[in-house]
Structures are given as structure tokens and as C-alpha cells.
Amino acid sequence: MFEKIKKVIQEDLQRRYEQLEERFLIFEQNLYGRLYDRLENLENQLDQISEILRQNITRNKAEAAANLQTETQKTKKEPKGNKNTATKEENIQSDDLQKLAGLGSMMEKKLHAEGVYTFRQLANLTDTELEKLNAKIPGMKIRYERYEWKKAARELI
């Protein structure tokens, strides 16, 4: 009789083990399926972001080329014989704006394009002027405030 009970218990344990193993396999398949779906979704989102960035880079390059072409055309139209017609940029001694924390070569080029060449100009920017610059150079105001360019530029004047 003891052997019969032992056998029934073993069979019951085996049956329960097989049920748990089957449940685990189903759980594992569901889990991997969900993970696979999420990874695929993330890959799609990364592809979309990459495409947007590629389009922005292409557009920025095209805009830069157009701006360069416009500038080239403007310089061709200026009279060559009159040496007293110096441009505003030639009259201003440009400072090395990259001495300011958070201001790199790209930002310096953008500031130059907007007519900002000196520490004095940065130090004396009004809120209205800063807003106008920020509209033309996205992120300008945030950097200006974060890195305290007004204060730093005054120290370098």
C-alpha cells in the first residue's frame, strides 16, 4: 500500500511539473513576443528619427549653400572701385566668441551671420534682441542664460 501511495504521489508530482513547465513555456513565449514587438517598435522609431535627422541635415546643407550663393551674389554686386564703402562687419573688430563657455564654432558662425561679433554686443543684448536672435538661432536664449554669457562677456570686455 505504501508503494501505491508513493506511485500516486510521484505521478501527481510529475503531472504538476509538466503543467508548470507548459505554463512556463507559454509565459516565456508571451514574454519574448512582447519584447520582440517592443524592440521592433523601437527600431521603427529609431529609423524615423534617423530619417528626420537626415532630412534636417540635407535641408540645412541646402540652406547653407543657398545662403552662400546669396552672399556671393551680393559681393559680386558691390562696387569694386570705391574703397570708402566699407561694410559694417569690416568696421567692427571681431572677438573670439568661443572663449565663452558653451559657445562653439557653429554658434559663433550663426551669431556672425546675425551681426553679433563682439563681447560688448553680447553683454548689451536687450530682452527683445535676445528673443529675435532666439527666433533665428534656436536654443540661443537657453544657452545665453544657462552659461551666463552676459556676465562672462562683460568680464571679457
24 and 54 fall within a common domain: yes
Q: What is the CATH number of the domain that holds 107?
A: 1.10.150
- pLDDT tens for each residue of 51-88: 888 888 888 888 888 888 887 777 665 554 444 433 44
The answer as to whether 87 is a domain residue is no
12 and 74 fall within a common domain: yes
The answer as to whether 34 is a domain residue is yes
103 and 61 fall within a common domain: no
58 and 2 fall within a common domain: yes
The answer as to whether 86 is a domain residue is no
Q: According to the model, what pLDDT value does residue 18 have?
A: 95
Least confident of 43-52, 61-70, 144-153: 61-70
- Rounded to an integer, what distance in angstroms lies between the CA atom of residue 16 and that of residue 18? 5
Which triple of cell numbers denotes residue 87? 561694410
Number of domains in the chain: 2
| Residue 152, burial from CB neighbour count under 10 angstroms (0-12, 13-18, 19+) | middle
- Rounded to an integer, what distance in angstroms lies between the CA atom of residue 141 and that of residue 157? 21
102 and 66 fall within a common domain: no
Residue 143 in contact with residue 149, Cβ under 8 Å? yes
21-54: string of b/e by CB count within 10 Å (b at 16+)? eeeeeeeeeeeeeeeeeeeeeeeeeeeeeeeeee
Range of the domain at 44: 1-79
55 and 11 fall within a common domain: yes
Confidence class of residue 89 from pLDDT cuts 50, 70 and 90? Answer: very low
The answer as to whether 70 is a domain residue is yes
pTM for the model stands at 0.44
- Rounded to an integer, what distance in angstroms lies between the CA atom of residue 133 and that of residue 113? 11
72 and 28 fall within a common domain: yes
